[in-house]
Copies of this chain bind each other. A is one copy, B any other.
Amino acid sequence: MRVAGSITELRQLRRDLQGSIGFVPTMGALHAGHLSLVEAARECDHVVVSIFVNPSQFAATEDLSKYPRDLPRDLDMLRTAGVDLVFTPTPEMMYPPGYQTWVDVEHVSQGLEGQRRPGHFRGVATVVAGLFNLVQPDFAYFGQKDAQQVAVIKQMARDLKFPLEIIVIPTMRESGGLAMSSRNVYLSPDERRAAGVISWALRAISTAWDDGEREPARLRELGLAVLVTEPSGQVEYLSFADPDTLRERQTASDDPCLVSLTVRFGATRLLDNMLLPASLNTREGLTSTLGVSPSG
């Protein structure tokens, strides 16, 4: 495994890679969820991973400085996972003095996380555009857990005509059902146990869908009823949206639906989501619903 610590090195090492390239952009603090993306990317001739805690996607009030970082451990995990090339730029490399270009995905960035984290998806879209141009992958792998992020990047890749496909890999969960996230380290043992309620709510909603319930208001009521059984969690939103536009579903429909929610435990915001019907929560279902092929 080669590690490129600068853009110059990355460009040189990238030129040496022939054949198809699978790319997994990460912010480090890797867990089994990231490794499942790497494992999927091994279908390509080469796997490139970036580790970059992107400042421009954190608001001033957010946890940039205390975001978990452990590069030696991350590199060990990636080496073991069979990665060919890791790119570890500094903020000064990605945003040199005079930096001033921003990629804005207007509508899909608006609701849900975008509404609560102003500028977040502008930072995400911008850094991913730069990484795509540097790595020039044929396939880019993203986790279902950040479903709105996937929707934003899909829209950007489609609109700006990036010559790549976006593959979406199902969320990995801890034994209690909690979706894996680098931010889970912020949770106390009690909070971590309590946070299991999020996946219970998703499963309750999915069961009702399977039994024929399609009314978003009814499904939301059901999910909230489960969530309130854990009073230490504060629900920020529970959304039923079109998986492509992320527009909120107002009426009953058999079309696939993205259920997503954010629940706060103490200072930690936990995200989770699920496609309905639940049979879509596979690589194939997620990729055809949330992913993208190059236009044309």
Contact = CB atoms under 8 A, between A and B. Distances in A.
A133 interface: yes
A296 B129 contact: no
A126 to B, nearest CB: 8
Nearest to A136: B163
B98 A245 contact: yes
Contact of A100 (B101, B106, B163, B296): B106
A161 B7 contact: yes
B159 A133 contact: no
A6 interface: yes
A296 B160 CA distance: 23
Interface in A59-115: 93, 96, 98-108
Contact of A294 (B11, B294, B295): B11
A96 B295 CA distance: 10
A219 interface: no
A contacts with B: majority SS: mixed
A102 B162 CA distance: 14
Given A11-B294, A161-B7, A163-B136, A125 B104 contact: no
Given A96-B295, A101-B105, A102-B106, A159 B130 contact: yes
Copies of this chain assembled into the complex = 2
A129 to B, nearest CB: 5
A8 interface: yes
A106 B99 CA distance: 9
Nearest to A130: B161
Q: How large is the interface on A (under 10, 10 to 19, 20 to 34, 35 or more residues)?
A: 35 or more
Interface string A150-171: 0000011001111100000000
Contacts of A9: 296
Contacts of A136: 163
Nearest to A102: B104
A104 B106 CA distance: 12
Given A160-B133, A161-B134, A7 B106 contact: no
Contacts of A106: 100-102
B134 A101 contact: no
Contacts of A100: 105-108, 155, 159
A10 interface: yes
Contact of A162 (B126, B133, B245): B133
Contacts of A162: 133
Contacts of A6: 296
Contacts of A125: 101
Interface of A: 6-11, 93, 96, 98-108, 125-126, 129-130, 133-134, 136, 155-156, 159-163, 245, 294-296
9 contacts: A7-B161, A9-B296, A11-B294, A101-B125, A101-B160, A103-B103, A103-B160, A129-B129, A130-B161
